[in-house]
Amino acid sequence: MKHKLKDVCAKAVKFTVAGGKIKNVEFYNGCAGNLKALSVLLEGMPVDEVIAKLKGITCGERPTSCSDQLTKVLEKRLKAGKRK
């Protein structure tokens, strides 16, 4: 499922969570090289660790970033009880 992102260059992110770990992260649009690298680095990382490391990161003068937006999606899933 694609999740829309707000106020960043990437328009959406798609991923799966299995066993509490993030898998198959794919950003749509945005800084291709940086977001591909981020996707590789996040592969298999526990969701709680992703949130702890990326939450609050900004991009330039923007109050958020693609990585921060990913944490917002992950937190929303956790609140909805979707740990898998």
- Secondary structure of the chain in HEC code, one letter for each residue: CEEECCCCCEEEEEEEEECCEEEEEEEEECCHHHHHHHHHHHCCCEHHHHHHHHCCCCECCECCCHHHHHHHHHHHHHHCCCCC
Question: Would you say residue 82 has pLDDT above 90?
Answer: no
The pLDDT tens digits for 47-69 are 999 999 999 999 999 999 999 99
What are the residue ranges spanned by the domains of the chain? 2-79
